[in-house]
Amino acid sequence: MLTLHLCITGNFFYTLFARQCNEHLTQEEYLKSFRILDYVLEESSTKAVLSEKCLHQIKSFANNIKLKESKLANYVRRFTYLCMDAMTTSPVEGNNNAIKHGPNRIHSRMHLNTALPNVYAGINSRIDRSTKQAKRDLTRTSYSSRASSADFVNGKGQSLADGNFDSRFIYKGAQIAEEAWLVWCFDRQRNDAFKSAPWCFLPYYRRVHQLKVMRSGDKLFLHCSCGFYHRTGIPCPHFFFLVDEIDLMMIHVRYWKVYHAYFNEDSDIGRYLTAAQAQHFENRMHGTPISEDHLDVSRN
Amino acid sequence: MHSRPRGRPPSVKKLDCSEKVKDEVANLRIELGLKRGTKILLLLSLASDEMIRLVTAYPEVFFMDVTAGTNRQKRGMFLAVVKDSSGKTYPGNITIVPSEKSWVFGCIFEHAFCQLYGKATLLMTQLCLTDDDRSEHGPLDNLISSGSIFVNSIHMLCIFHALYKPFQEDIVPLLPKKGDKVTDEGRNYGEYDTLTGWLLQ
């Protein structure tokens, strides 16, 4: 009965479409989900629950989604540099809310020459506050992490890195070449609720990721096929399976505390940060930067 | 178009518009019932020095949308928002648009963005997210595919606007509600063990 209820509320079909947009890592997985949808829709038990019109509507909805593959599918953004898995325009809605209901609020009866300066002043004061906060944070000591980078990286970056670092023990790996490894984790079991129909039709992928050393000039990088570093600028758990250390050089410069406070300022540190950003961008497809020492440890 | 509070530098030339844009402006003048010689403000694209600094620091993702109900003139406000590394979001660009036609958005991306942020910054943009409004993202797609701006970028749709909302509007009303009559086969749906081999492969 639970499954029937889930099917009635449409959760199964929505989950199938949502997984295409936020979970599937390859085009094969994406296309397979459509085959699964066709199979489920053809099942006699599905036909018994859903009306002919509803089945037709789901099929035409799926066709519409298929036409927007390049605009919606998750695999498209797998290696998109620093996209932070952005999927919705909710940041715009949040800013709209701040503009319409914040301290410098505007409304539909306001003339443009009053509304615009209000918006402008509101945004500038928010940016000013955040820059001042970033400068105050520079002197803060972090007690939430024991990593050597903790005092130099902002809270979000360090917590992401710590989370991945702490989960390194659940992974297994094998060296397949002098500078290439396979890393996987098969420990996680599927929840019992997803073992009955129709949820059992949704495949649960056990993924094996490949790590390989890449070089650009005299710089060394460790590239992981999961694409986490490309998307976020923070090393993935597979990386930490090989390199048992969090070093500041591994974390993208945008997470450094000085970055938000001094980027693009007319000073030495401002110019250094601008150059560092350009350098990261140049090497964006190479993976996490590492040193020779890190590579030696990984080889052993 | 003023990029800074101090006004447009004298060295900046006026924008060169294509014939298509000139035609659209002529149509707009007719629609607004303007007399010959009356000047109209087409776009007002704003970005303070601090906003430009943030866009330069975090140019990778642009979240874009238009909001209504912000002024008496009933002009839409186009917002391009960037996200910093702490997850906080800031508007990088505010543009007051005369209408929500595609040529207006074309002008914003091609002229206003280029003038305000420079091509070097826009070269670093990797992802532009919009809602499923073709007049908004159509010009963006054209500019990306022609390689004139946002060269390294891809355009994607907001899954709330492109997936969740249409699903709620088109499919959910057709699903059987609690208490609706279903057959015995449907009632026992959860008891079927129909997991076949090919699905697991």
Contact A82 B61 (CB under 8 A): yes
The number of angstroms, rounded, from the C-alpha of A171 to the middle of its chain's C-alpha atoms is: 20
- Percent of chain A exceeding pLDDT 70 equals 97
Length of chain A: 300
Give the separation between CA A235 and CA A162, rounded to whole angstroms: 10
Q: What is the pTM of this model?
A: 0.88
Residue ranges per domain, chain B? 19-174
Pairing of β A180-184 and β A172-177: antiparallel
Of A45, A112, A259, the CB nearest to B96: A112
A83 min Cα distance to partner chain B (Å): 6
Q: Which of residues 37-96 of B touch A (CB under 8 A)?
A: 44, 46, 48, 50-51, 53-54, 56-58, 60-61, 63-65, 67-75, 77, 79, 81, 83-91, 94, 96
- Whether pLDDT at A68 is above 90: yes
Can you tell me whether residue B62 is helix, strand or coil? strand
The alpha carbon of residue A278 and the mean position of all alpha carbons in its chain are separated, in whole angstroms, by 21
Sign of CA dihedral A286, A291, A294, A300: positive
**Relative orientation angle of helices B49-57 and A112-137, to the nearest 10 degrees:** 50
Q: Which pLDDT band holds residue A3 (cuts at 50, 70, 90)?
A: very low
Chain A partners of B44 at a C-beta cutoff of 8 Å? Answer: 112, 116
Beta-strand (E) ranges in chain A?
172-177, 180-184, 208-216, 219-224, 288-290
Question: Does residue A218 carry a pLDDT above 70?
Answer: yes
Among candidate residues A221, A28, A45, the one with its CA nearest the CA of residue B192: A45
Q: Which two tokens stand for residue A24?
A: 């599937």
Query: Which of B15-19's residues contact partners 24+ apart within 8 Å by CB, and which partners?
Result: B15/B111, B15/B115, B17/B107
- A87 contacts chain B (CB < 8 A): yes
- The 10s digit of each residue's pLDDT in B14-41 is 556 678 777 877 887 787 777 877 777 7
Q: How far is A138 from chain B (nearest CA, A)?
A: 14
Q: Of A115, A156, A264, which is closest to B87 when you measure between CB atoms?
A: A156
Q: Which residue type is seen at B67?
A: T
pLDDT of residue B182: 52
pLDDT for B196 equals: 38
Q: State residue A297 phi and psi, 5-degree precision.
A: -65, -40
Mean pLDDT of the residues in chain A:
91
Tell me, yes or no, if A196 comes closer than 8 A to chain B by beta carbon: yes
**Per-residue confidence (pLDDT) for residue A300, from 0 to 100:** 73
pLDDT surpassing 50 at residue A189: yes
Is the pLDDT at B68 greater than 80? The verdict is yes
Q: Does A53 touch chain B (CB under 8 A)?
A: yes
* Rounded Cα–Cα distance for residues B78 and B129 (Å): 13
- Whether pLDDT at B109 is above 60: yes
Provide the pLDDT confidence category of residue B6 given band limits of 50, 70 and 90. Answer: very low
pLDDT (0 to 100) of residue A45: 81
Do residue A51 and residue B162 have CB atoms under 8 angstroms apart? no
Task: Give me the residue label for tokens 């190479």.
Answer: A286
**Is B121's pLDDT higher than 70?**
yes
Bridge partners, residue B127, by sequence: B61, B154
Q: Across the interface, do A65 and B158 touch by the CB < 8 Å criterion?
A: no
- Percent of the residues in chain B that have a pLDDT greater than 90, as a whole number: 54
pLDDT of A264 > 60? The answer is: yes
The interface residues of chain A toward chain B in range 91-150, judged by CB-CB distance below 8 A, are 91-96, 99-100, 106-112, 115-116, 119-120, 123-124, 126-128, 130-131
**Does the beta carbon of B171 lie under 8 angstroms from any beta carbon of chain A?**
yes
Token pair listed for B191? 């008891």
B18 or A96, greater pLDDT? A96
CA of A296 vs chain B CAs: smallest distance (Å): 31
Domain boundaries, chain A: 2-77, 90-137, 155-299
For chain B, what is the mean pLDDT? 82
State the pLDDT at residue B15. 57
**How far apart (Å, rounded) are the C-alpha atoms in residues B192 and B189?**
6
What band does A2 get if pLDDT is binned at 50, 70 and 90? Answer: very low
Q: Would the CB atoms of B83 and A65 count as touching at under 8 Å? A: no
Give B19-174's CATH code, choosing from 3.30.420, 3.40.50, 1.10.3470, 2.30.30.
3.30.420
- The answer, yes or no, to whether residue A201 has pLDDT greater than 90, is no
